[in-house]
């Protein structure tokens, strides 16, 4: 199962959601991979902390190999890094991704990420963290993924951007990846006592949009976990926000099982 966490709007919690769901999956015994396609590298820092060293491979090295033919190219597995957390590996980001994007786009390498993941069959779950833009890297992830999770932070700007985002995902599904589906909208930084978030979420639900039932609260604890470079399941397992992430992961797992069972029944 490959999930891309995507929103064209910045600051909605893509990296936090991707890393925490991946960490929970690994803590449950699932072999998990996270790809950090954002040149800012927030997911890479969150999962690797100070354990990254200059000579370690990154996604920039992989894409550079895509652009430059080599007689003995490295396998995709050669670019994987083990995080400090059991069963959780990463394809790390690099600022050089920014420099490579235009070259990759002009040479139409948009399917290479999907091909690369086809070489990796040892993972139970794969998560993509994406840049806050519909660019080469986010499109590559959407083409390679089975489903899309959309973080949403309950303001009017996010709501207006949501409709364009859904249209863009649908276009990619129609043109490049017929198996892609929007798995759900993740309500993030939710303030239960504020009327605006409640109203906005209710309106999205009334419109029939796939709002996931578990909302993620706003908490300083997540910023502390960023600083410590430890996802919440390891940093503060009993905290309310951690348990909300666990509930979100469980809801997604149940949804996945039900989808598989539905397909089996149809067959």
Task: Tell me the CATH number at 14.
Answer: 3.40.50.300
Antiparallel, parallel or unpaired: β 88-91 and 81-82: antiparallel
How many other CB atoms are found less than 10 A from the CB of residue 20?
28
Answer whether 0.85 is exceeded by the pTM. yes
Q: What is the pLDDT of residues 132-171, one digit of tens each?
A: 999 999 999 999 999 999 999 887 778 888 999 999 999 9
Instruction: Pick the closest to residue 22 from 267, 232, 171 (CA basis).
Output: 232
CA separation, residue 220 to residues 84, 108, 170, 202 (Å): 23, 42, 35, 25
Percentage of the chain modeled with pLDDT above 70? 94
Instruction: Say whether pLDDT at 238 is over 80.
Output: yes
Q: Could you tell me if 9 and 185 are in contact, meaning their C-beta atoms sit under 8 angstroms apart?
A: no
- Count: domains in the chain: 1
Task: Give the domain range for residue 60.
Answer: 2-266
Q: How far apart are CA 265 and CA 259, in angstroms?
A: 10
Sheet-wide strand order for 81-82: 81-82, 88-91, 32-36, 125-129, 2-5, 147-152, 181-187
* H or E element in which residue 229 lies: none
Q: What is the pLDDT of residues 50-78, one digit of tens each?
A: 888 778 999 999 999 999 877 678 999 99
Q: How far apart are CA 140 and CA 208, in angstroms?
A: 28
Q: What is the pLDDT of residues 179-235, one digit of tens each?
A: 999 999 999 999 888 888 899 999 999 999 999 999 999 999 999 999 999 999 999
Q: What is the pLDDT of residues 77-131, one digit of tens each?
A: 999 999 999 999 999 999 999 999 999 999 999 999 999 999 999 999 999 999 9
pLDDT confidence tier of residue 257, bands split at 50, 70 and 90: very low
Could you tell me which residues are beta bridge partners of residue 34?
A: 90, 127
């Amino acid at each position: 199962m490959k999930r891309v966490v995507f929103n064209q709007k910045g600051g909605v919690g893509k990296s936090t959601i991707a890393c925490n769901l991946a960490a929970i999956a690994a803590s449950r015994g699932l072999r998990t991979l996270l790809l950090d396609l954002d040149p800012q590298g927030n997911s890479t820092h969150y999962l690797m902390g100070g354990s990254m060293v200059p000579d370690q491979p990154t996604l920039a090295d992989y894409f550079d190999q895509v652009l430059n033919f080599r007689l003995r190219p490295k396998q995709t597995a050669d670019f994987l890094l083990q995080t400090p957390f059991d069963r959780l590996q990463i394809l790390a980001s690099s600022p050089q991704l920014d420099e490579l994007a235009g070259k990759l786009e002009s040479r139409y390498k948009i399917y290479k990420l999907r091909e690369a993941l086809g070489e990796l069959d040892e993972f139970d779950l794969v998560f993509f963290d994406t840049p806050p833009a519909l660019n080469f890297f986010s499109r590559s992830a959407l083409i390679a993924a089975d489903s899309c999770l959309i973080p949403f932070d309950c303001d009017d700007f996010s709501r207006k951007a949501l409709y364009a985002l859904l249209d863009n995902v649908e276009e990619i599904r129609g043109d490049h990846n017929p198996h892609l589906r929007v798995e759900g909208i993740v309500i993030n930084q939710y303030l239960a006592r504020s009327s605006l978030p409640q109203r906005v979420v209710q309106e999205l639900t009334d419109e029939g949009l796939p709002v996931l039932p578990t909302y993620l609260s706003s908490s300083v604890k997540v910023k502390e976990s960023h600083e410590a470079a430890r996802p919440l399941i390891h940093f503060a397992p009993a905290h309310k926000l951690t348990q909300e992430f666990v509930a979100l992961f469980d809801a997604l797992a149940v949804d996945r099982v039900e989808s598989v069972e539905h397909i089996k029944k149809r067959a």
